[in-house]
Copies of this chain bind each other. A is one copy, B any other.
């Protein structure tokens, strides 16, 4: 009996991610994945028309897994200033963990993601949208009254904290305690810049 198509698709993605974890980006091909699953490569191609499409899908799934906790924070009920602070701290913590805990695996996924600029662009756009949502709510409820353009301000906030989430910079952002303090200082400046009261 055939599995439903969605199940096959996610089995393929799981196998591909496992291959990437164990053997690095070079082994992430349609043929290797098919072999691992005991599946014909025609069957894999039915879900992913090319090696490139397969690799892009693996990158997409990886990136959305990395940032899943952020979406939950952005959609939460905390007052916007506190929510922005929590969101930025979580982004930095997630990236630091990913980059430093298993640098080789991170490099593998990062390389695969870098092959698909459209996947990275969509990922960044999703992060900007989350921050923009927080900022728009802060403008709406008066806790961040100096927000002028939620999306442009969101881009500015992400740019200003790049050292703590850009894959090429995280490893150089220093010892965790110092990095956390610096991020907190920048976040406080940005929040006040966005009009937050000093105590929030």
Contact = CB atoms under 8 A, between A and B. Distances in A.
Interface string A165-193: 01011000000000000100110111111
Given A156-B182, A185-B156, A192 B162 contact: no
Contacts of A163: 159, 162
A171 to B, nearest CB: 12
A122 interface: no
Contact of A192 (B146, B152, B161): B146
Given A185-B153, A193-B189, A169 B160 contact: no
A9 interface: no
Given A162-B163, A168-B168, A190-B193, A185 B146 contact: no
A79 to B, nearest CB: 18
Nearest to A146: B192
A188 B166 CA distance: 22
Contact of A189 (B166, B182, B190, B198): B190
Contacts of A157: 189
A156 B186 contact: yes
Contacts of A146: 192, 198
B189 A194 contact: yes
Contacts of A185: 152-153, 156
Interface in A131-176: 146, 152-153, 155-157, 159-163, 166, 168-169
A166 B156 CA distance: 16
A182 B128 CA distance: 14
Nearest to A159: B163
A159 to B, nearest CB: 5
Please provide the 7 A-B residue pairs with the shortest distance between their CB atoms, ordered closest to farther: A189-B193, A160-B160, A193-B193, A192-B193, A156-B185, A156-B186, A160-B186
6 contacts: A156-B182, A156-B185, A159-B163, A189-B189, A189-B193, A190-B193
